[in-house]
Amino acid sequence: MTYQDKTARPESSTLPDFAKRHGLSLSTVYRLIRDGDLLVTKIRGLSRILDTDEADWLKTVRVAPKPRVYSDKSGKGDAK
Protein backbone atom coordinates (compact mmCIF):
# COMPACT_ATOMS: atom_id res chain seq x y z
CA MET A 1 0.00 0.00 0.00
CA THR A 2 1.31 3.45 -0.87
CA TYR A 3 0.70 6.62 1.05
CA GLN A 4 -0.95 9.47 -0.85
CA ASP A 5 -0.43 13.00 0.40
CA LYS A 6 -3.79 14.79 0.12
CA THR A 7 -2.08 18.19 0.00
CA ALA A 8 -0.39 17.23 -3.27
CA ARG A 9 -3.74 16.57 -4.96
CA PRO A 10 -5.93 19.58 -5.72
CA GLU A 11 -9.42 19.60 -4.25
CA SER A 12 -12.41 20.69 -6.31
CA SER A 13 -16.07 21.68 -6.15
CA THR A 14 -19.07 21.03 -8.33
CA LEU A 15 -20.56 24.06 -10.07
CA PRO A 16 -23.72 24.03 -7.88
CA ASP A 17 -21.60 23.82 -4.70
CA PHE A 18 -19.43 26.73 -5.89
CA ALA A 19 -22.53 28.79 -6.72
CA LYS A 20 -24.13 28.11 -3.35
CA ARG A 21 -20.95 28.88 -1.40
CA HIS A 22 -20.61 32.29 -3.09
CA GLY A 23 -24.31 33.19 -3.23
CA LEU A 24 -24.41 33.06 -7.03
CA SER A 25 -26.94 31.54 -9.36
CA LEU A 26 -25.81 28.61 -11.46
CA SER A 27 -26.38 30.66 -14.62
CA THR A 28 -23.97 33.31 -13.25
CA VAL A 29 -21.33 30.63 -12.69
CA TYR A 30 -21.77 29.43 -16.29
CA ARG A 31 -21.46 33.05 -17.46
CA LEU A 32 -18.23 33.51 -15.48
CA ILE A 33 -16.85 30.37 -17.13
CA ARG A 34 -18.02 31.41 -20.61
CA ASP A 35 -16.48 34.87 -20.23
CA GLY A 36 -13.16 33.39 -19.09
CA ASP A 37 -13.37 34.87 -15.59
CA LEU A 38 -13.49 31.47 -13.88
CA LEU A 39 -11.58 28.37 -14.94
CA VAL A 40 -13.32 25.01 -15.02
CA THR A 41 -11.71 21.56 -15.17
CA LYS A 42 -13.43 18.61 -16.82
CA ILE A 43 -12.92 15.26 -15.12
CA ARG A 44 -14.48 12.43 -17.11
CA GLY A 45 -17.11 14.80 -18.42
CA LEU A 46 -17.85 16.37 -15.02
CA SER A 47 -17.23 20.10 -14.61
CA ARG A 48 -15.27 20.93 -11.47
CA ILE A 49 -13.71 24.10 -10.10
CA LEU A 50 -10.34 23.49 -8.51
CA ASP A 51 -9.74 25.17 -5.15
CA THR A 52 -6.70 26.94 -6.61
CA ASP A 53 -8.84 28.35 -9.44
CA GLU A 54 -11.46 29.44 -6.90
CA ALA A 55 -8.79 31.26 -4.89
CA ASP A 56 -7.52 32.99 -8.05
CA TRP A 57 -11.07 34.09 -8.93
CA LEU A 58 -11.62 35.46 -5.41
CA LYS A 59 -8.50 37.61 -5.78
CA THR A 60 -9.93 39.20 -8.93
CA VAL A 61 -13.29 40.10 -7.37
CA ARG A 62 -11.87 41.52 -4.15
CA VAL A 63 -12.70 45.21 -3.70
CA ALA A 64 -10.50 47.52 -1.66
CA PRO A 65 -12.34 49.64 0.88
CA LYS A 66 -12.57 53.37 0.19
CA PRO A 67 -10.66 55.56 2.64
CA ARG A 68 -12.87 57.40 5.09
CA VAL A 69 -12.67 61.15 5.38
CA TYR A 70 -13.43 62.63 8.77
CA SER A 71 -14.31 66.22 9.47
CA ASP A 72 -13.36 68.17 12.55
CA LYS A 73 -15.95 68.78 15.29
CA SER A 74 -17.05 72.12 13.87
CA GLY A 75 -18.23 70.45 10.65
CA LYS A 76 -15.86 72.58 8.56
CA GLY A 77 -13.33 69.81 7.90
CA ASP A 78 -12.17 68.15 4.72
CA ALA A 79 -15.32 66.04 4.25
CA LYS A 80 -17.14 66.66 0.98
Taking CA atoms, 37 is separated from 1, 28, 53, 58, 75, in Å, by 40, 11, 10, 10, 44
- CATH code assigned to 11-60: 1.10.10
* pLDDT (0 to 100) of residue 37: 95
State how far the Cα of 32 lies from the Cα of 54, in Å rounded to an integer.
Answer: 12
pLDDT tens digits for 19-58? 999 999 999 999 999 999 999 999 899 999 999 999 999 9
CA 3 to chain centre: 31
The answer, yes or no, to whether residue 10 has pLDDT greater than 60, is yes
Taking CA atoms, 6 is separated from 3, 10, 49, 54, in Å, by 9, 8, 17, 18
State how far the Cα of 55 lies from the Cα of 69, in Å rounded to an integer.
Answer: 32
* pLDDT (0 to 100) of residue 59: 93
